[in-house]
Chains A and B, each alone.
Chain A
Amino acid sequence: MRSISRACTAAAAVLAMSLAATACGDDSGSGEGQAAGGKTTITFWDNNGGVRTPIYQELIKRFEQANPTIHVEYVGIPIASVQQKYDTAVAGGETPDVGGVTTSYLANLTGQGALEPADDWLAKSSLNGKLVENMLASVKQTTPDGKLYLVPATSNLDVVWYQKDKLDAAKVTAPKSWDEFFTAVDKLTKTPDQYGWTIRGGAGAIFQLLAEAYAYSGVNTFFDASGKSTVNDPKNVELVAKIAALYKKNTPEADVTNDFPKMVAQFTSGKVAMMHHNLGSYNDHVKAFGADKVDAFPLPVGLSGKRTVVANPVDGFAVFKNSKNKDAAWKFVDFLLSKESNSYWNQQTGQIPANTDAQGDSWLAERPYLKSAVETLGSPDTVVVSPPYYLPQFSSITKADTEPLFQKVLLGQMKPQEFLDTMAQKLTEAQEEWKKAHS
């Protein structure tokens, strides 16, 4: 009798779960663009779901109020898996209407014919002429046909974050040249309680290292006129050797495997005085120290005397070709890039708006590091070096192929010259292949 009762309970539980699973089925017809209650539904995939979710929820609320006939369904995709998610969706024909996309994987998506060019929409939009020109150019460079498949929303810049009180205590001011920088790192190191610097030795190390190397050397292109990579330029090698020499002397030993969460965690724990990252980690620092205790300066000016900046991947929005409601999708993109929305988004994330009107908002002036970043990017004296995001192998070369080699450099098992020569050779070969394919 007891066992029958247990079996009935189990069966009831399974039935209830089955009903719940069925109730949680796809009732939206994502991607089908059908009207629900007289409304057009569009799906939007956020390529950095989680942290930004509340920001988008607010913007979607505002958009739906302004456009009562359109319903936006938000889906947050974790950043670590966004490329795989897009690839699977493209292969399965279930792409969203609008998606957050960066130039890091834009070439991959356009290569699969997944995106709709936005040139015509932008030409007719009030946004025309309001978006930062070099960001638009950077997006167009990424694709072989030179079309605008991604509309930029935000600009980022590599900076050095520092704890104000630690620099004050050591009587150090924000360094302007690389010599001042290395002196400051030495002064700020008081092992084992405090390190002057932290090196990103794990995932994502190469981009940061290249940003430092080009800032130091002042080399202004990734490839010379003959198509040969410039990453093994003697001055770049010199900088890599100088950075590697800091390892363990002025940095924690664990840096060899540091990815950005670990690096940021080290900095926010208070043990590291200065850290190279970008504007995007602003909120973490404020949460850890308070807004008045932390500040940032751009990477120091190098040997050329000109500030040289390696362009970060451009982050923005793309309309997918499979969308059944492309006009509604563009309307949403247009709304997200409007002065108010773009300003709100960037204020919350601590980054630079792509909308030039939004760049004039007062909150930017209230944050000195951001004001300085805007000035740096906008200055005619700043040289912007664009990495070859258009190369399909760029991601694998700068991650899987060379990150372990940089770790060897830090551990003294490889010479900086050999490391950069290997990377340069791979980049040169990839560039040759790309040129052949698109000649």
Chain B
Amino acid sequence: MAKKRVMFTFPPDLVTEPVIYHLAQQFRVVTNIRRADVAEDRGWVVLEVEGKEEDIDKGLEWVATKGVRVDPVGGDVVEG
């Protein structure tokens, strides 16, 4: 089993959608939220996703196609 730590940033129109629930259901991964800040018009969630590596990759790709930004937990690592 693999684990990935990621940050989801939600655009206003997706704040009310159960994206993380669907990620877990559709891709057979376990999601574990560690920190979050969600308001009416914005939101971010830092979480760990555990499962088969292939499932995690497909799941995170699906989350990104929904319009949620997916980043490593430490922010951008490519520096100038």
Q: Do A and B come from one complex?
A: no
Point out residues on A near B: beta carbons under 8 Å.
Answer: none
